[in-house]
Structures are given as structure tokens and as C-alpha cells.
Amino acid sequence: MKSKILRGLRSVAAVLAGFVVIVVGTILTFEVVLGGIGFYKSSPTELVIATIGALASGLAGGLVAARLAGRNPLWHAAGLAVPIGLDTASFLASRGPASDPLWFDLGGSATLVLGALIAGYLVQTKGRSRKTSPEPG
């Protein structure tokens, strides 16, 4: 019973740690490097940099969640969709009338989730190849 509780806590901690990495990465990219972004106020170059930053943040967060979980790395990386979705919903609920188009904000969140899923897939694939590779002889 104790081991199930510890595994559950480890899973939750892994996803929360991955989300913290995503939050820090997006703040650094969007606010510190770019000085704030928006569909209407940012240049195409800034939007490309923001997209790359969002993908990198998603990859980093997914990698952290997948590695810290210790098992089912893809599922733990996919679990990041929950806090990302909650964050997006709260942001959309509080945005004003002069904000960006809905598809822009949803696309940004989808980019984060995509990055996390790619990282989880890569960690899971690497773990499988390690298990199936023959021992050096």
C-alpha cells in the first residue's frame, strides 16, 4: 500500500515539476527575451522565436516529467496537458476584449503539449531500446 502511495506522489510531483519547467521557460522566452508577445503587437520574427521557445519549453517540461516519473514516461509527459489546459482555461477566462485571437492562445498551448509529448515519446523509446538491446559480450 505504501509503495502505491509513493508511486502516486512521485507521478504527481513529476508532472508538477515538468509544469514548473514549462512556466519558467515560457516566461523567460515571452517576457524576458521578447518583452511580451501578442499576435497583433509582435513581428513575424518575434512570433517565430516565441514558437521555438514554446516548443523548447514543452520539450524540457516533458523531459523532466518523463524522467522524474521513473515509469510510463509518455503518460507522465501527456499528463502535462492537464495543468497546461487549466492554465489556458484560466487565462482565457480572464482575458480582456482587446486580446489575441482564440486560435492564437490555443495554438500556443497546443505547442507546449506537443513538445511535452515528443519528449515523453523520446524518453520512452530510449528506455525500450535500452531494455531490448543485447548485453555487450
> Tens digit of pLDDT for each residue in 79-104?
999 999 999 999 999 987 768 899 99
Q: What is the pLDDT of residue 134?
A: 60
pLDDT tens per residue, range 97-127: 768 899 999 999 999 999 999 999 999 998 7
Q: What does the DSSP assignment read for 72-118?
A: -HHHHHHTTHHHHHHHHHHHHHH--TTS--HHHHHHHHHHHHHHHHH
Output the pTM of the full model.
0.87
Nearest to 14, CA basis, from 77, 86, 56 = 77
Q: What is the pLDDT of residue 17?
A: 97
Question: Over 80: is that where the pLDDT of 49 sits?
Answer: yes
Question: Over 70: is that where the pLDDT of 135 sits?
Answer: no
User: What's the burial of 104, exposed, middle or buried (CB within 10 Å: 0-12/13-18/19+)?
Assistant: middle
Domain boundaries, the chain: 2-123
CA dist 94 and 114 (Å) reads: 24
Q: Are the C-beta atoms of 76 and 120 separated by less than 8 Å? A: yes
